[in-house]
Amino acid sequence: MAALFSKLKNAWNLYQQIDMDQLSKLSAKVDLPAVLRNVGKMDEQQLAGMMKMLGGEHKEKKQPPIEGDFYHLAETLTDEERRMQLNVRSFMEAEIKPIVNEHWLAGTFPHEIIPRLATLNSCGITYKGYGCAGKSFLMEGILAMEMARVDTSISTFFGVQSGLTMGSIYLLGSESQKQEWLPALRTFKKIGAFGLTEPEVGSATAGGLTTTVKRVGDEWILNGQKKWIGNATFADVIIIWARDEADQKVKGFLLRKETPGLKVEKMEDKMALRIVQNGLITMQNCKVNEADRLPLANSFKDTAAVLRMTRAGVAWQAVGCARGAYENALKYTLNRKQFGKPIASFQLIQNHLVEMLSNLTAMQAMVFRLSHLQDEGKLTDAHASLAKVFCSAHTRDVVARAREVMGGNGILMEYDVARFVADAEAIYSYEGTKEINTLIVGRAITGHSAFV
C-alpha cells in the first residue's frame, strides 16, 4: 500500500514538473505513449530518472528587473542626484508604503511622518538661501516622481508645502516674510496651504475671483470662501488670493491660522487623494496686517508665475503615479499564474504592459526636457501646460491598464494599484484641468485665445 502511494505521489510530482517544451521535443524522438503506459511498473529510481528527463533542467526562469525607467534616464543624473533620488525612494518604501492604505481608507493624514520627511532635506529644494539647497528643478521633479511612485497624496502634501506655499513667498514675498516663513516651512516646523479656488470659481479664477479684500489703514479685510485647499485643516499659514475692492486686482495674503473670522472645514468623502486634507475655508472680516500682504503679488499674472512653476511639478507627479502603477502591475503579472503559466507570458497582457511602458517612457522624456527648460530659465506657461495635460491624461490610461491586467485584484487596496487609479483622477483635474491647459497651449501655438 505504502509503495503504491509513493508511486502515485511520484507520478503526481512528475505531472506537475513536466516541462511542456521539453516534452514536445522528446515526443519527436521516443514513443511517449509506450513510456507513459509503463510508468506504473517503474521503481522509484527509474521514475526519478524519467522526471529528470522530462522536467528539463528545471531552472527557475530569471525574471528581468522591475524597472519603470526603461531608457535609463537616471543615468543622466549626477551621483549626488541619484543618491537623493534613492534616499527618497527608500523613505517612501520603508515608511510610507506600509501605512498608506490604512490612512487612505480612513481619510487621515499620518502626522507622525512629518519629522522624518523633514530629514530628507528636500522641501523648497530649488530655492536659494533661507536654508534651502538651491538644487535644480530636475532634482525637484525626480523627487516628486519618487514620492508619487509610492503615494500621490504624500507627494501632493509635499507639493503644496514646497511648491505652492513656499513658492508664493519665495517669488512674491518681502524679505522679512521670507525670513519668517521659508526656514520654518522648509523644515516642516510650520505647515502651509494655498487658497485660490472657490466654491463657485475653479477654472475661471484668473478673472472671476469673488473673495474680496479691502484696505482699512494698515490692515486688509478679507471676505469670501475657498474650496479644495490642501493641508488647510492643519496649516499654520494659508496664502489667500483675493480681489482688491479698490483696483479690482488679485492680491496675495499670508493668512495666519489664529486669525479671528477664519473657519476651516474638512472636505469629506473624496474618492481620490484621501490622505490629503482638503479644506473649505470661510473668511468673515478676517484682518490681515499690511506686513502680511505679498508685496510682489499685484495681479493674477503674479499668481500665474507660481502656478507655472508648480504645474511642471504636477506633470512629474503624474509620471510617478503612472510609474508606481506600472511597476506594481508588472510584478503582479509575473507572479500571477493562470492556465499553468504566468499571465505576463500572454500576448494580450504583454500588449497592455508595453502600452503602459510606452506612455510612461514618453512622459519621462517629456518631463526631463521640461525641467531642463525650467533650469535654463526658458519655461513658458504653455510648456508647463503641455506636460501637465499630456502626462495627466496618459497616466489615466496607464493606471487603467494596470488595474485591468490584475483582474479582480486590481480593485483591491492590498495590491497597490487601485489607489493609483483613484488618485490619477485628482491629478487630472487640479492645477488646471485638461481643457484649461489645452486652451493655454492652443493660444500659444495659434496666437488665438479660445478662452471664453
By the criterion CB under 6 A, which residues form the site for ligand FAD? 160, 194-197, 202-203, 228-230, 273, 276, 278, 426, 429-433, 435-436, 451-452
The rounded distance, in Å, linking the Cα atoms of 25 and 187 is 65
Distance of closest approach, residue 198 Cβ to ligand FAD, in angstroms = 8
The rounded distance, in Å, linking the Cα atoms of 199 and 242 is 14
Distance of closest approach, residue 279 Cβ to ligand FAD, in angstroms = 9
Strand runs (DSSP E) across 153-200, as ranges? Answer: 192-195
Query: Residue 60 gets which letter from DSSP?
Result: P
Cα separations (Å) of 389 from 61, 180, 424, 434?
40, 35, 12, 5
- The candidate with the shortest Cα–Cα distance to 235, out of 183, 285, 286, 181, is 181
Residue, CB closest to ligand FAD: 202
State the sign of the Cα–Cα–Cα–Cα dihedral 369, 372, 374, 376: negative
Distance of closest approach, residue 326 Cβ to ligand FAD, in angstroms = 22
Which CB atom, from 68 or from 163, has the smaller least distance to ligand FAD? 163
CA 165 to chain centre: 19
Residues composing the chain: 452
Which CB atom, from 333 or from 437, has the smaller least distance to ligand FAD? 437
Which CB atom, from 145 or from 201, has the smaller least distance to ligand FAD? 201
Which CB atom, from 151 or from 431, has the smaller least distance to ligand FAD? 431
Which CB atom, from 323 or from 388, has the smaller least distance to ligand FAD? 388
Asked if 200 contacts 230 with a C-beta cutoff of 8 angstroms, the reply is: no
- The candidate with the shortest Cα–Cα distance to 194, out of 237, 155, 234, is 237
Helix 347-375 / helix 381-404 crossing angle, nearest 10 deg: 160
Asked if 322 contacts 401 with a C-beta cutoff of 8 angstroms, the reply is: no
Specify the residue for cell string 508647463. Answer: 384
- The candidate with the shortest Cα–Cα distance to 124, out of 138, 140, 112, 111, is 140
Strand runs (DSSP E) across 245-314, as ranges? Answer: 250-256, 262-266, 278-289
**Environment class of residue 348 by beta-carbon count within 10 Å: exposed (0-12), middle (13-18) or buried (19+)?**
exposed
- The candidate with the shortest Cα–Cα distance to 291, out of 254, 250, 316, 259, is 254
Which CB atom, from 138 or from 436, has the smaller least distance to ligand FAD? 436
Which CB atom, from 160 or from 391, has the smaller least distance to ligand FAD? 160
- The candidate with the shortest Cα–Cα distance to 420, out of 349, 328, 341, is 328
Which CB atom, from 10 or from 277, has the smaller least distance to ligand FAD? 277
Which CB atom, from 183 or from 199, has the smaller least distance to ligand FAD? 199
Which CB atom, from 169 or from 329, has the smaller least distance to ligand FAD? 169
Which CB atom, from 229 or from 360, has the smaller least distance to ligand FAD? 229
Which residues are bridge partners to 281 per DSSP? Answer: 226, 264
The rounded distance, in Å, linking the Cα atoms of 445 and 449 is 10
Distance of closest approach, residue 272 Cβ to ligand FAD, in angstroms = 6
CA 172 to chain centre: 27
